[in-house]
Structure 1
Amino acid sequence: MKTRYSFGGDEHIFVEVDEEMSLEAFFKSLSMTNAVRDSGIAGITEICPANASFQIKFDPDVIAPDALLAALKEFEAAAEGAAKTIETRIIEIPVLYDDPWTRETLMRFRERHQDPGSTDLEYAARVNGYGSVAEFIAAHSGTPWFVSMVGFVAGLPFIYQLVEREKQIEVPKYLRPRTDTPKLTVGHGGCFGCIYSVRGAGGYQMFGVTPMPIYDPKGEIGYLKELMIFRPGDIIKFRVIDRAAYDAAVAEVEAGRYEPKIRPVSFSLDAFLADPQGTNAKLLEALHG
């Protein structure tokens, strides 16, 4: 895993931890960005973490670029031997799969899809070797997902399925992006899932929608006083719901009574790599215990 450093103009350093997206690369990136944040180095104005990389914005009148680069390389050396355990949260996300809104949207954009004759769920099930949409939904919702970054648009989480590499769901993005995606769509592109925090353009396959807001720029929703719910390192668990449960949850949100299920958990990368199923079972026990 060879880290690559590059300067972007006079005010940015871009750090690519690895060309390959992996939990190992993410944990190294997370350790380095946490170290930057905790260091309190004068002149750093913004830290932008991503899946296997991050970017630092700084004021060159306060800290010289070479001095910041040297500090980052020290953080990298420390990250190599850092404990790969984090204290984080597991958050349950209810999902109405194969909902009428994403279905209507995907039908409007079939000419941009690899398989215009099937829905996104049918296509995803087939290319991943599942015998039915129901089997695919069970696989998608049955295991936890790791939030590796938040961004692109405000509050949108990119998520990585916590299963062995050969079992990960992989689905290519649309051939050409859509100009419309319903708000709170649960989508997937490549090896990453996401939840669209707002309505807008998109190219990920659409599997369903959640009634649970994840971004509130007005800060009016009780559990979204920090404007967005997710942060890198969070763990998500999807829960299948029907239309009646979806409508009931929407009503709770509108009444200001909805509270998501969030539990504190410890996550060890080494423990997960040694025993993925056992680690996931402990995470789910913490969520439902």
Structure 2
Amino acid sequence: MPMRYTFGGDEHLFVECSEEMSLEAFFASLSMTNGVRQAAIKGVTEICPANASFQIKFDPDIIDPADMLREVQAIEAAAARAEPVISTRIIEIPVFYGDPWTHETLMRFRERHQDPAGTDLDYAARVNNYGTVEDFIAAHAGSPWFVSMVGFVSGLPFMYQMVERQRQIQVPKYLRPRTDTPRLTVGHGGCFGCIYSVRGAGGYQMFGITPMPIYDPTQSISYLKDFMVFFRPGDIVKFKPIDRDAYDQAVEDVDKGRFTPPIREVLFDLREFQKDIDGYNAKLEEALHGH
């Protein structure tokens, strides 16, 4: 679809790249926001990327809304010709699936769930046609995830699974949102995965918890000293299932400043990925572990 432009009052321009989420739509949004940033248009005060859209805030006393629209439409034409290649990071995130804290929480809110008789993992495995919870966890952790946007709550990443559309995990949100979700819960709603950066309300299915903080406003955690938010759009996440002992050890390592998430810089080429998704994902994992 052609990009759709809408004004929000006289200070915001909303640009919809696609009506549905896909890596192609994300790359279009990313190319556009990068182009707007590089153009350094006078009057632009904020650029907010999302999964398949973005919003620009500008000062109408400095740039007229019609001129703002023309500037961004010119960038759209240039972005359409750009190569779909980005320099990004692949990051390994440990996850304790079926942990006791999210389990206690989900049991407190069963009356708000589609399947009160089971757990969120039971339900997700069943609606995605996996024979066992273990099979479902293997699929969830078996392929990488693209961070398509960060926000809604400070530092919360929305993640899109890097497999063919028919293989993507899809699970509806709770029938009614919970009033509580443990901090660092690994959740899923619709086609998006997420990690809850803080404790609070939520409606995504809860699969497990990570010992790795991703948001630290005090910037006291060793790997968050430079910036309080860990994730940025374009990051690639690979989940690593861990047990209780490994979880407890990682929590201790974080507390003592010894924990550093495995991270590798990589170039991601959308066209090469689309030619052989599983093969490309295998190469990304090799890059992560230095093989």
TM band (smaller chain): over 0.9
Could you say which residue in structure 1 is the equivalent of 2:212? 212
* Structure 1 SS opposite 2:149: strand
- Mapped to 2, the partners of 1:30 and 1:162 lie a distance apart of 17
Structure 1 length normalisation: TM-score? Answer: 0.99
- Mapped to 2, the partners of 1:278 and 1:267 lie a distance apart of 13
Could you say which residue in structure 2 is the equivalent of 1:7? 7
Could you say which residue in structure 1 is the equivalent of 2:142? 142
Could you say which residue in structure 2 is the equivalent of 1:283? 284
Q: CA deviation at 1:194?
A: 0.2
Q: CA deviation at 1:185?
A: 0.2
Q: CA deviation at 1:273?
A: 1.1
The worse-fitting range, judged by mean Cα deviation, of 186-195 and 36-45 is: 36-45
Q: CA deviation at 1:56?
A: 0.3
Does 1:247 find its partner at 2:256?
A: no
Could you say which residue in structure 1 is the equivalent of 2:269? 268
What are the within-5 Å matches in structure 2 for residues 101-112 of structure 1?
Answer: 101-112=101-112
* Structure 1 SS opposite 2:32: helix
- Mapped to 1, the partners of 2:70 and 2:138 lie a distance apart of 47
Residue identity in the other structure for 1:104: E
Residue identity in the other structure for 1:56: I
The Cα offsets for residues 19-75 of structure 1, whole Å up to 9 and x where unpaired, read as: 111110110000000011111111100000000000000000111111110011111
Aligned length: 289
Could you say which residue in structure 1 is the equivalent of 2:62? 62
Could you say which residue in structure 2 is the equivalent of 1:227? 228
* Structure 1 SS opposite 2:211: coil
The worse-fitting range, judged by mean Cα deviation, of 70-79 and 87-96 is: 70-79
Q: Which runs of 5+ in 2 are unaligned?
A: none
Q: CA deviation at 1:79?
A: 1.4
Could you say which residue in structure 1 is the equivalent of 2:39? 39
The Cα offsets for residues 232-253 of structure 1, whole Å up to 9 and x where unpaired, read as: 0000000000000000000001
Q: CA deviation at 1:272?
A: 1.1
- Mapped to 1, the partners of 2:68 and 2:3 lie a distance apart of 15
Could you say which residue in structure 1 is the equivalent of 2:88? 88
Could you say which residue in structure 2 is the equivalent of 1:199? 199
- Mapped to 2, the partners of 1:134 and 1:102 lie a distance apart of 17
Does 1:156 find its partner at 2:156?
A: yes
Residue identity in the other structure for 1:244: D
* Structure 1 SS opposite 2:153: coil
CA RMSD of aligned residues (A): 0.6
The Cα offsets for residues 246-274 of structure 1, whole Å up to 9 and x where unpaired, read as: 00000001111111111001111111111
- Mapped to 1, the partners of 2:214 and 2:261 lie a distance apart of 10
Could you say which residue in structure 1 is the equivalent of 2:118? 118
Q: CA deviation at 1:81?
A: 1.3
The runs of at least 4 aligned residues of structure 1 exceeding 3 Å deviation read: none
Residue identity in the other structure for 1:7: F
The Cα offsets for residues 203-240 of structure 1, whole Å up to 9 and x where unpaired, read as: 00000000000000111112112001100000000000
What are the within-5 Å matches in structure 2 for residues 44-55 of structure 1?
Answer: 44-55=44-55
Structure 2 length normalisation: TM-score? Answer: 0.99
Q: CA deviation at 1:112?
A: 0.4
Q: Which runs of 5+ in 1 are unaligned?
A: none
